Amino acid sequence: STLDVSAMHRDSTKVFIMETMGRHAGWIVASTSLFLPNRDVQIILFPEVPFDRERFLEEVERKVEKFGYCVVAVSEGIRWKETGDFVSKSDVKDEFGHEQLGKVGIKISNMVENELKLKTHVAILDYVQRSARHSSTKVDVDVATSAGSKAVKLALEGIDGVMVNVVRKNDEPYLWELGYVDLEKVGGSDKERKLPKEYMTEDGFNITEDFVRYALPFVKDLDVSSINPPCIPKIEFKFVKKKVVQQ
């Protein structure tokens, strides 16, 4: 998308806006910057950073003046600096009482078009973010399948109330091992792992090299050529009888 906007910004779109998932944590929106040829053209709106409308618009204007265009990646969970309310706040709530979020990308687009008079284009990834198995990396697949196998083994050993975790042993080459941790230590909204400050630039609009070093091993071996078209197997669900273990 960045290359597309850079090619047509003289006659068309000046600001491309992409909305990602992430109610409280900015891991997904941060990853959008990993492969950009020029990270300076991008603005990332993290849910961890209070949204300042004027400051954001000034940054968009500055980048368009400098580069001719700008790319914005916005997390669905950004909140207004003044009130703490979700920018995408609505009156609809889910079964747990959480506000239903969505269309923050369109709201950001309206801001830019109304205030700066710049043409925008919005992309909302939505469920595509969790359905692109055909673009999984080797590390992605290896870790996921190993974690699933580990969980089954733990269950067969009578170990429950735990979550399989991945322990990083080395960055380059990327080395890892599996362990497990009690659910009470990781479960619940108060245990959310938000994006650390050291992974965001001082101005709060992009990622640092620390984040690149952390995240790159998960995506750098991407090669979809060997699985094109993607092979999507039909899964036969075999349910086991529910058992209640007496402690």
Say whether 188 sits in a helix, a strand or coil.
coil
- pLDDT (average), residues 107-132: 89
CATH for 2-130 (3.90.105.10, 3.40.140.10, 1.20.120.140, 3.40.50.460): 3.40.50.460
**pLDDT beyond 80 at 7:** no
Please write the tens of the pLDDT for every residue from 174-221: 999 999 999 888 877 677 889 999 999 999 999 999 999 999 888 877
pTM comes to: 0.82
- pLDDT (average), residues 86-115: 78
> How far apart are alpha carbons 162 and 180 in whole angstroms?
6
- Asked if residue 19 lies in contact with residue 47, where contact means CB atoms within 8 angstroms, the answer is no
Q: What is the pLDDT, as a whole number, of residue 97?
A: 63
Strand order in the sheet with 42-45: 42-45, 70-75, 15-20, 120-124
For the chain, the structural domain boundaries read 2-130, 133-187
Task: For residue 72, give the H/E element and its range.
Answer: strand 70-75
Alpha carbon dihedral 152, 153, 159, 165, in 10-degree steps, equals -80
